[in-house]
Structure 1
Amino acid sequence: MKQSMESLVSEHWDRNAEQWARDVRAGFDTYRDHFTLPAFLAILPDLTGLTVIDFGCGEGTNTRLLARQGALMTGIDLSERMLALATAQEEAQPLGITYRRTSFSHCPDIATGNFDAVISTMALMDGPDFAGAMREAHRILKPGGFLAFSILHPCFISAGLRWITNPSGETVGLGVAHYFRRESFVEEWKFGDNPDKANAEPFAVPRFPRTLSDILNAVSDAGFIIKKIDEPMPTEDACKHFPRFRRWRDLAAFLLIVRAEKPA
């Protein structure tokens, strides 16, 4: 079953790849650029000279950013089309990144104890075997190495999510339902800042719901020591530029970030 679910993930992201790359590189992923990525980078130490592997690297935008900060990067992903786009950019503007097509939940071709850090930005919630990803992260890290990942907050981003408005149309709350329902589903959405949004094909993304305890217990059960948990809010400056961000500052949490260490 796991293999068939990974094939489903790969097929969907292969179909998403070209438009995803165009939109991200054009700056239409405003949540990433102005909220989720800055919050994630804030928990990272200096990566200069560290061997770092990016779980779920996609078309490589974040992988390249970390390489420019001095990290020795490897990116892995299931999507052949995403990796082709990442590889093409590496060939055009080399940063010393190695890309490999493999699952972050089962990557036996990645050597044991070979990396200083495992990072993942907004990808692990899109894989069917989170616990397997934690075990693999622990295996391939050197003793004393660290894991850092960001995901959609499992307590608030559920299949039953709906914004609640008052009679004036003002958003006053978030309705959450089906928190304990773990059946996978496919979500369709578009980047809201794409000026051609009306003509863009929606991204179809498989989701694999988990509870907060599913996430944190998997990290701990893999052998990690959890060092920091963060539920960041958008900055006031980001909210001024993108007023819809205020919902995630004032009403609910959008993002969960975890940093953990493999014992030395």
Structure 2
Amino acid sequence: MAARWNANADQWTRDVRDGYDVYRDRFTFPAFQEFLPPLGGLEIIDFGCGEGTNTRRLARMGARLTGIDISERLIDHARRAEEADPLGISYKVSSYSADTGFPDASFDAVLSTMALMDGPDFEGAMKEAYRLLRPGGFIAFSVLHPCFITPGLHWEKDREGATVALCVSNYFDRTSFTEHWRFGDRPKDEEVVPFAVPRFPRTISDYLNAIAAAGFRIRRIEEPQPSPEACDAVPRFARWRDLAAFLLLVMAERPA
């Protein structure tokens, strides 16, 4: 995992900061931000913080942030952004599925945006999140929707070429694999080495049962659709508005 993301890190950081991650900018992070309660004054740890873009956005919502990621290269980029424009964020190279080195009950909230589906041990992540939270604290995360983003998905089109359905298959196939892709809004003739992203397919019961087994009480689940403004700006988002869910948001609390 670390080697894969270290290899991805430089191009990933450039692409994100150059605005090529339109899903993040126009859909997944705005939906996550709307899902959250007020964060002012909370001590928060960001699981899988990457190059720190979302961590910085969360800090600007008034929270005190710590970011962890398994990739040393991504953490290097996050630290450089903090040095250039300090927001009081600290970063650490660490897996979110193992002992992160922080004391028990160190944080008011654990947040994670589009990262937990990319680790092999979701159960371990939930156990560590529970350990790190103070009683009454909460975890909130976003992942690709496991019911629709399956290993065998493809879009179906009608005779005129319009997208009319999403075909999902191999839902119960939990075989890990590496997906190779690049951001779709890059110039088509630009030569860019595709990212190599490890994938660990899970069912929705895998996610929810691991949350419950760690001791959490699930408070809220949402499957947001792209906003009208997002669909106007990125017309292909209409597929996720009308035909299937792209995103799963979960909030759970550690009982007081």
Normalising by the smaller structure, the TM-score range is: over 0.9
Report what 1:248 is aligned to: 240
Q: 1:14-43 CA deviation, whole Å, 9 max, x = no partner? A: 011111111111111100011000000011
Off by >4 Å, runs of 4+ in structure 1: none
Are the structure 2 counterparts of residues 108 and 88 from structure 1 closer, same or farther at C-alpha, using a change threshold of 3 Å? closer
Q: TM-score, normalised by structure 2?
A: 0.98
- Cα distance in 2 between the residues matched to 1:169 and 1:194: 23
Instruction: State the alpha-carbon separation in 2 of the partners of residues 38 and 261 from structure 1.
Output: 22
Q: 2:70 aligns with which of 78, 82, 98?
A: 78
Task: Report Cα offsets for 1:34-77 as digits up to 9, x if no partner.
Answer: 10000000111111110000000000001111112211100000
Supply the AA of the counterpart residue of 2:21. D
Determine helix, strand or coil for the equivalent of 2:173. Answer: coil
Amino acid at match of 2:121: D
TM-fit CA distance, 1:108 = 4.3
Contact 1:191 1:197 in 2 (8 A): no
Structure 2 vs 1, CA of residues 197 and 119 (structure 1 numbering), >3 Å: closer, same or farther? farther
Percent identity, aligned pairs only, is: 61
Unaligned runs of 5+ in 2: none
Total equivalences in the alignment: 256
Matches within 5 A, 1:1-264: 9-195=1-187, 198-264=190-256
* CA-CA distance at 1:196 after TM superposition: 5.8
CA distance in 1, matches of 2:53, 2:100: 25
Report the residue type matching 2:108 in the other structure: D
RMSD (Å) for aligned C-alpha atoms: 1.0
Amino acid at match of 1:12: R
Unaligned runs of 5+ in 1: 1-8
* Distance apart, 1:169 and its partner CA: 1.0
Residue 103 of structure 1 and its aligned partner are, at CA, apart by 0.6
TM-score (norm 1): 0.95
**Aligned pair in 2 of structure 1 residues 110, 197: CA closer, same or farther (>3 Å)?**
farther
C-alpha deviation, 1:107, in angstroms: 2.2
TM-superposition CA deviations, 1:187-231 (whole Å, max 9, x none)? 011111123663121111000000000001111111111010000
